[in-house]
Amino acid sequence: QVHLVESGGGVVQPGRSLRLSCAASGFFFDTYRMNWVRQAPGKGVEWVAVIWSDGSNKYYADSVKGRFTISRDNSKNKLYLQMDSLRAEDTAVYYCARGDDFLAFDYWGQGTLVTVSS
């Protein structure tokens, strides 16, 4: 059974950093692309970043490019999102989601809330 569990959210001041983690289980983690998707309070979902199965390629939404870094550790079945220079508009629930070229984002975690506020 596929299971994705995010952690690391919390309250952080503008300009500071935070690192999110996503623990994966129940599938061959090293064969899937992994994504971060976020949802600001009361708003729609926004794709944030993707990393290829072997970590060879990474892509970002323009809104986070240069500030966020996606990474993974296939030996630990973990996905990460390093968020630097945080802004109030980064406040959101952050989800990790398994990606597939054909099956889209077929599994999602329950999300972790990041609040950027002074």
Partner 1 sequence: EIVLTQSPGTLSLSPGERATLSCRASQSVSSGYLAWYQQRPGQAPELLIYATSSRATGIPDRFSGSGSGTDFTLTISRLEPEDFAVYYCQHYVSSPPYSFGQGTKLEIK
* Interacting residues toward partner 1 by CB under 8 A: 35, 37, 44-47, 50, 59, 61-62, 95, 99, 101-111
Q: How far apart are CA 72 and CA 52, in angstroms?
A: 9
CB of 24 to partner 1, least distance (A): 15
Phi-psi region of 15 (alpha: psi -120 to 50; beta: other; left: phi over 0): left
Looking up tokens 């919390």 gives 10
CB of 20 to partner 1, least distance (A): 15
User: By C-beta, is 30 or 46 nearer to partner 1?
Assistant: 46
Q: How far apart are CA 56 and CA 106, in angstroms?
A: 22
CB of 36 to partner 1, least distance (A): 11
User: By C-beta, is 56 or 75 nearer to partner 1?
Assistant: 56
User: By C-beta, is 29 or 95 nearer to partner 1?
Assistant: 95
CB of 78 to partner 1, least distance (A): 18
User: By C-beta, is 18 or 37 nearer to partner 1?
Assistant: 37
Number of H-type helices and E-type strands within the chain: 0, 11
Q: How far apart are CA 64 and CA 59, in angstroms?
A: 10
